Structure 1
């Protein structure tokens, strides 16, 4: 014979409190004294009780689930960022569903449909393009959508990014200040705001100083494509003396190819600068100069903005750009010498 399932009524009787008190103890953010919470949780542990989260969501209209959608995880920036996002949301009593989706419309639409079926309270997309139709469907369903590390002009969605144009400008200013004259760029995907804005800030600063790009290639955030682009540039009769690579994932591939396949000296033959400051960038094998994305502040702003929209009805459309600093290491010259 199967034992009867333990309910909140049983816990209330065991603890000598009301059923509503049990509900408050297991509702994140509810007001309850420590003494009461300890008594109820001990009774629950003794009886083997677990609160029914799905049943509560039917009553409250909130699942306390946030969907995180990311295009790919091979870029080491994203596992680190998603871990921080998950921890920050869990600290606020939210559960996380992580989905992978490519950037084609079919993949993204399928994932967003799945998330809406799960009755998520909100969605965070990381480097995902949402069509206007998908944005409208989420809005009609009352599900706030937050863009992380990418903006979509005209979408009306809230977004948090680093200050990408300024970051690209800082990279250009450093290369100009250290005497480079043949400066190339291996960009991220120019169809995305991150790749486009970094490139635009970089190029505008060069042009303001009277320089034009020596060479350019859109590697679409692909590590192998970036490495091949850099190889082609360095095989040119007049190779660049510096390459700004649109993110660290690509820049690390470029460094491996230049040093270990072409036998070039970095930065003696060519300076390399990336963008993100992923953990591997500081490893002695890479020692990559890079523009640091302030991921902790980006996560804090993302969670704060999204929860304001979920809990307090804050209108969408807040766009936050957070400045990052240029981290100087050994892959780029530090002076004109």
Structure 2
């Protein structure tokens, strides 16, 4: 290749080394020669010398939930933008990294990112034993090798409460996830605290499982309950969709006239006209950028403050101006 490009062997080596010093004219000739010869560089020697593969694993699961698909897309784009390679590991769980612990030892990777959570301190210790940095979204267990990037879930719950009270709601419910999950626990806590501060009725607190089916089943119960709430805050959009479909189909109720509903994650379906769901946007791009910084630039000072999710107000809570979407 060096002969075909009329350059030295060292110039070829530098051209295929990130940050290598070589003129643009030489780099162009080298790349043209490589394409003509069908050459692909062997990355193994560089991996052995540097101890880094430039591969970041993305652990994904629960693809029935659009949020995990959105997070995977954001991680893949962020990894590519940083000049790294992504390896996707899929697990059955829709919320925990626990199932992937045994897989880490088999891969030479620079780090792991995921929208799933670390389920226990024992799992965190097992993950740290591999000495590979792991960064999760919406988790709370950390150690020297595990970082957690969270939005301000409690503040979001408070804003949801104010939003509903300002629109005339008087009876409330919160449908969360399992109680051991920090994001959903914090959302429910902020919601209940703000309602108390506003001297509003205490909400009915329900633990769900994040699925459309759970939202639908709970919505069926709500539709036939004479003392039903007139405002529901769901911890994700998927359950909110289920609640909305159930109260319409099974109870003949209207949203927002009879029941106002807020979701979380601002998934694409929330903007569909059949739902028009008010929802929180977690600022995934910001969360993902910070997560990747912990792996790619661990020596840099990284902003670990919790960004405030944006409330996107749509018709599901907008009794006065249906169909008008706005940031709150």
Q: Indicate the larger mover: 245-254 or 207-216.
A: 207-216
Cα distance in 2 for residues equivalent to 1:30 and 1:197: 47
Aligned to 2:90: 100
TM alignment of 1:66-105, pairs within 5 A? 66-103=56-93
Aligned to 1:124: 113
Match of 1:232 among 221, 229, 236: 221
Q: Indicate the larger mover: 31-40 or 248-257.
A: 31-40
Cα distance in 1 for residues equivalent to 2:236 and 2:210: 7
- Give the CA deviation at 1:335: 5.5
TM alignment of 1:320-335, pairs within 5 A? 320-334=305-319
Cα distance in 2 for residues equivalent to 1:109 and 1:189: 16
Q: Indicate the larger mover: 151-160 or 275-284.
A: 151-160
TM alignment of 1:267-278, pairs within 5 A? 267-278=256-267
State whether structure 2 residue 140 is matched by structure 1 residue 152.
yes
Cα distance in 1 for residues equivalent to 2:64 and 2:9: 48
Structure 1 stretches of 4+ moved >6 Å: none
Cα distance in 1 for residues equivalent to 2:269 and 2:152: 22
Are the aligned partners of 2:215 and 2:241 in contact in 1 as well (CA < 8 Å)?
A: no
Q: Say how many residue pairs are matched.
A: 320
Q: 1:221 to 1:76 in 2, by over 3 A?
A: same
Using CA pairs below 8 Å that are at least 6 residues apart, which structure has the higher relative contact order?
Answer: 1
Q: 1:26 to 1:69 in 2, by over 3 A?
A: same
Cα distance in 2 for residues equivalent to 1:294 and 1:268: 29
Where do 5+ consecutive residues of structure 2 fail to align?
A: 322-328
TM alignment of 1:45-60, pairs within 5 A? 45-60=35-50
TM-score if structure 1 supplies the norm length? 0.86
Q: What do you get for the CA RMSD once the two structures are aligned?
A: 2.5
User: Over residues 176-214 of structure 1, what are the superposed CA-to-partner deviations in whole Å (9 max), with x where a residue is unaligned?
Assistant: 111211011111232111111111111110111123434
Where do 5+ consecutive residues of structure 1 fail to align?
A: 1-10
Are the aligned partners of 1:165 and 1:201 in contact in 2 as well (CA < 8 Å)?
A: yes
3-state SS of paired residue (2:149): strand
Aligned to 1:3: none
Q: 1:115 to 1:28 in 2, by over 3 A?
A: farther
Q: 1:167 to 1:184 in 2, by over 3 A?
A: same
User: Over residues 39-88 of structure 1, what are the superposed CA-to-partner deviations in whole Å (9 max), with x where a residue is unaligned?
Assistant: 11111111110112234322321111111112311111221221121111
Aligned to 1:203: 192
Aligned to 1:248: 237
Aligned to 1:4: none
Are the aligned partners of 2:71 and 2:115 in contact in 1 as well (CA < 8 Å)?
A: no
Aligned to 1:183: 172
Q: 1:228 to 1:279 in 2, by over 3 A?
A: same
Q: 1:132 to 1:265 in 2, by over 3 A?
A: same
